[in-house]
Amino acid sequence: MKNKRSKPILDKIIKQSDIFIEGFRPGVIKRLGYDYNRLKNINPKLIYLSISGFGQDGPMNHKPAMDPVIQAFTGFISENKGPDDIPHRTPVIIFDMATALYATQLISTSLYARINENLGRKIEISLMEAAAAIQVIRLMSGYMEGPYSHASSPSGTFKTKDGWIQIIVVKNHEFIKFCNAVGWKKFLKDKRFVNNAERRKHEVILSREVQNLFINERTDYWKNLLDKYEVQNEKVQNYREFIESKQTKALNLISWLKQPTTGEIWPVPNIPGMTKFTNKDILSKAPSLGQHTKEIIKSLGYTDNQLEDFINNEVVK
């Protein structure tokens, strides 16, 4: 985009495009000569999407921001504490992904609206805005009520003899099932645990009792026992265990796709509600850099000699 000889080529592409997406810090795309005011003159029906870290305005708009930074700024890390009581980031890039999902919704609705209109539009979205939106329930309750605490007890992640297990017990009949499952007859009539409100008051005691119990047996023992009594629980699995689980396979959730960019076969989750990915589908393969350059340049009316010149002079990749 910094090569002056590239601009006429890009302008030709933009003229026949539906969507233009840029993810630079505010001001950069304008300096490169591809701001919305110029491009809408080339293509009035263009849907122009700008993605930034902290937004296009405000005192932090020029600050670089990747997912971990947004996790910290928006309060997520402060809530994500383990038994060590230390705030942790999650390696799942949830706010990058959330931003992409919100952006997809915005583009889709804009394209639909454009069917009966002659003009496109500019859309602005930031990782910070997406992070706030995806955390909306906890964000509101956190502001009004303070730091997170379990909404029920006993609930949480507990260490077993060979791993970890997650349980959640909310209603009284669930607590009764839990007590019957683990043999806690004495707690069924204990006034401290008569309802969820009382159990929450005594969460520290109840959680300690659960932990002292669970550490004595393997995860699968507790999982099978609690399943039998219909108590909500699940083993804390890693990704390999999840992908290889019977339930995942029963839903055909994973497609195994060979990618030409690496030559390896990758486990790719299928998109909910859509046709499963297959190796025969071109849209299931990640293109390599420059894979379609020749095809695109030739479609714009350039010759093979011009293409060779463009590549040699780094006008195109």
CATH of the domain at 9: 3.40.50.10540
Specify if 68 maps to a domain.
yes
* 246 and 232 both lie in a single domain: no
* 217 and 246 both lie in a single domain: no
> What confidence tens digit (pLDDT) does each residue in 138-168 have?
999 999 999 888 889 999 999 999 999 999 9
* 116 and 16 both lie in a single domain: yes
* 44 and 111 both lie in a single domain: yes
Confidence of residue 37 (pLDDT cuts 50, 70, 90): very high
Judged against a pLDDT cut of 90, whether residue 260 lies above it is answered with no
Rounded to the nearest integer, the mean pLDDT of the chain is: 95
* 88 and 106 both lie in a single domain: yes
* 140 and 36 both lie in a single domain: yes
User: Which residue segment(s) compose the domain that 132 sits in?
Assistant: 4-147
* 143 and 9 both lie in a single domain: yes
Which pLDDT value is given to residue 2? 85
Judged against a pLDDT cut of 90, whether residue 288 lies above it is answered with no
Q: Decide which of 171, 205, 236 is a domain's last residue.
A: 236
Specify if 303 maps to a domain.
no
Task: Specify the amino acid at residue 54.
Answer: F
Confidence of residue 287 (pLDDT cuts 50, 70, 90): confident
* 138 and 20 both lie in a single domain: yes
Average pLDDT of 95-118? 95
Average pLDDT of 227-252? 97
Which pLDDT value is given to residue 148? 85
Which pLDDT value is given to residue 261? 82
Which pLDDT value is given to residue 48? 98
For residue 167, what is the enclosing H or E element?
strand 164-168
Q: Decide which of 236, 252, 275 is a domain's last residue.
A: 236
Phi and psi at residue 74, to the nearest 5°: -90, 5
Q: Decide which of 100, 117, 147 is a domain's last residue.
A: 147
Specify if 289 maps to a domain.
no
Phi and psi at residue 148, to the nearest 5°: -65, 140
Which pLDDT value is given to residue 278? 95
* 28 and 128 both lie in a single domain: yes
Domain count, the chain: 3
Confidence of residue 1 (pLDDT cuts 50, 70, 90): confident
The predicted model scores a pTM of 0.89
CA distance linking residue 149 with residue 83, whole number of Å: 13
Exposed, middle or buried, 160 (CB in 10 Å: 0-12/13-18/19+)? buried
* 16 and 104 both lie in a single domain: yes
Judged against a pLDDT cut of 90, whether residue 110 lies above it is answered with yes
Specify if 63 maps to a domain.
yes
Alpha carbon distances (Å) from 46 to 34, 117, 167: 12, 11, 50
Residues 6+ apart with CB under 8 A from 272: none
